[in-house]
Amino acid sequence: MIEVCETVNIDGGVLVGHDGSTCAQEALVWAARLAGRAGLDLHVVRAWGLTTAPRPATWKPGFVPPMTEYEQAVRDELDAHVTVAALEPSVRVRTHVLHRPPVKGLIEAAKSADLLVVGARGGGGFAGLLLGSVSDQCVHHAPCPVTVVRTGADGPLSPLAAVATESDAGR
């Protein structure tokens, strides 16, 4: 069972943010391949609020289900995405569900990570943007290197990602 909390403390490894989008799924697969090759743990974080959570099965117009049902829906969705990714058995995967805004949750969780991986675009409303707001904020404010994975990039570890380090982020 995935515990829902407001913060997560990880001890190194590759941290990947997942919001349920196609780009996040590609970032998960990319991060898992890297973690497997480097022998690092893979931490998959889903930060959410009521507006970004999947609807519980009991949701109906005019009825707001209890918070525990939203938590379960988020857990179930994250588990499904990790399962569908068909990660190598050698990759040690830990999933974390945070009830807080994605940028804050990812940046705080990245304090002890070796690398933060995010998709270039999430589920936001401006599809024409090359970089989503969460990815942009992570590149500029994360305390560790950040890799942004774009949709449609190919190859197991090809140059499909832009890597930002402290010096690249203008700090």
Q: What is the pLDDT of residues 56-91, one digit of tens each?
A: 999 999 988 999 999 999 999 999 999 988 888 889
Please give the average per-residue pLDDT across 149-153, as a whole number: 76
Q: What is the 3-state secondary structure (H, E, C) of 53-72?
A: CCCCCCCECCECCCHHHHHH
Distance CA 141, CA 100 (A): 17
Lowest-pLDDT choice from 20-24, 57-61, 65-69, 167-171: 167-171
Distance between CA atoms of residues 61 and 106, nearest Å: 32
Contact criterion met (CB below 8 Å) for 4 and 75: yes
Q: What is the pLDDT of residue 162?
A: 39
In this prediction, residue 169 carries a pLDDT of 44
Of the candidate ranges 104-108, 132-136, 141-145, the one whose mean pLDDT is the lowest: 132-136
Any residues with CB less than 8 A from the CB of 48 and at least 6 apart, and which?
Answer: 19, 74, 97, 98, 99, 102
Residue 112 phi, psi (nearest 5):
-115, 10
How far apart CA 114 and CA 121 sit, in angstroms, is 22
Q: For the chain, what percentages of helix, strand and coil (3-state, to nearest 5) are there?
A: 30, 20, 45
d(CA 100, CA 102): 6
**pTM passes above 0.95:** no
Question: Cα 40 to the chain's mean position, in Å?
Answer: 16
Q: What is the pLDDT of residue 64?
A: 86
Q: How far apart are CA 66 and CA 49, in angstroms?
A: 13
Structural domains in the chain, CATH included, are 4-164 (3.40.50.12370)
